[in-house]
């Protein structure tokens, strides 16, 4: 009997030690960055924890993480345009769980997958199918941004009151019948050619205007030069007239200038014409040289 008790004692101690160690280890847990931890006790969500190391009741509490980073859902949806053209739209939505309300989402919907399947995806498909038929196929191809804005506005309205936010929506691809795509490409090619021709004409007009402006500038420059030359001639004429007037005035006031001018212009030869004895040679009275 004593031996049996001894064996039981030495078996129980290691078991208790292992259980104690397991309890200690299971008392700690970590929550990954970009997530929140939902602490469940007997399957009931009690509270949530932020990323990091935390303590929980061993063997009782279970941790389930919910991602609070931006998530992306993609959908491939058949629809039709305003002219009843069949179209397949590949669209995606980026959305984020409200971090502070993550536990409410878990309590109401059981997690992200259930929320996507029951709430987000059906409303996203409905928003796309509401907006796409408002566009013609050509408008949808050429103005995808307006269609995206319409889907985004529709979905945001539908998602009010839920603990998530719709960040943005993208139309990844639009699949139309091949024949219609070819007609759109033909129209686009014709439009591109027309735009190129218009650009060419506008450029020619611009170059013609530049030539006109250059010619006008050159003509203005010639006019300016001519005006400057005429002004110079006028000033020169006025100066010469003033000089002549001054010279005439000097002649009137000093008769000796006439004699001096004659002497300056005399070539040193006496006149060859016959003169009477009584005629006197012209005598120029010059001032006597100073000693």
Q: Give the domain ranges of the chain.
A: 2-65, 71-176, 178-249
d(CA 246, CA 240): 10
What's the confidence (pLDDT) of residue 16? 58
What's the confidence (pLDDT) of residue 252? 66
Taking the whole predicted model, whether its pTM rises above 0.75 is answered as no
> Which residue stretches of the chain have pLDDT < 70?
1-25, 183-185, 250-291
What's the confidence (pLDDT) of residue 57? 85
What's the confidence (pLDDT) of residue 237? 77
Burial category of 121 from C-beta neighbours within 10 Å (exposed 0-12, middle 13-18, buried 19 and up): middle
Strand partners, 91: 75, 171
Q: How far is CA 288 from CA 261, 282, 284, in A?
A: 18, 18, 12
What's the confidence (pLDDT) of residue 263? 67
What's the confidence (pLDDT) of residue 268? 65
What's the confidence (pLDDT) of residue 141? 84
Strand partners, 54: 29
The CATH number of domain 71-176, selected from 3.30.479.30, 3.40.50.2300, 3.40.50.300, 3.40.50.880: 3.30.479.30
């Amino acid at each position: 009997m004593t031996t049996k008790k001894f064996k039981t004692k030495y078996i129980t101690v290691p078991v208790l030690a292992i259980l104690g160690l397991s309890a200690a280890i299971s008392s700690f847990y970590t929550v990954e960055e970009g997530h929140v931890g939902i602490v469940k006790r007997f399957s009931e969500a009690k509270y949530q924890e932020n990323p990091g190391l935390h303590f929980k009741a061993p063997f009782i509490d279970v941790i389930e993480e919910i991602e609070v980073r931006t998530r992306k859902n993609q959908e491939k949806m058949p629809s039709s345009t305003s002219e009843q053209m069949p179209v397949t739209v590949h669209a995606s939505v980026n959305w984020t769980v409200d971090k502070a309300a993550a536990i409410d989402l878990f309590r109401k919907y059981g997690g992200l997958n259930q929320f996507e399947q029951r709430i987000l995806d059906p409303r996203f498909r409905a928003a796309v199918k509401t907006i796409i038929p408002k566009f013609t196929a050509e408008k949808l191809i050429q103005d995808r941004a307006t269609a995206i804005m319409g889907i985004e506005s529709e979905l945001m309205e539908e998602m009010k009151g839920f603990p998530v936010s719709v960040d943005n929506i993208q139309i990844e691809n639009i699949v139309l019948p091949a024949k219609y795509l070819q007609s759109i490409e033909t129209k686009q090619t014709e439009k591109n050619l027309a735009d190129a021709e218009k650009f060419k004409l506008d450029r020619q007009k611009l170059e013609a205007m530049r030539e006109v402006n250059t010619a006008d500038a050159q003509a203005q420059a010639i006019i300016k030069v001519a005006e400057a030359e005429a002004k110079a001639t006028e000033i020169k004429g006025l100066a010469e007239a003033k000089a002549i007037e001054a010279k005439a005035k000097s002649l009137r006031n000093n008769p000796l200038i006439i004699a001096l001018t004659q002497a300056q212009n005399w070539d040193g030869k006496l006149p060859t014409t016959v003169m009477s004895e009584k005629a006197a040679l012209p005598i120029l009275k010059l001032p006597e040289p100073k000693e």
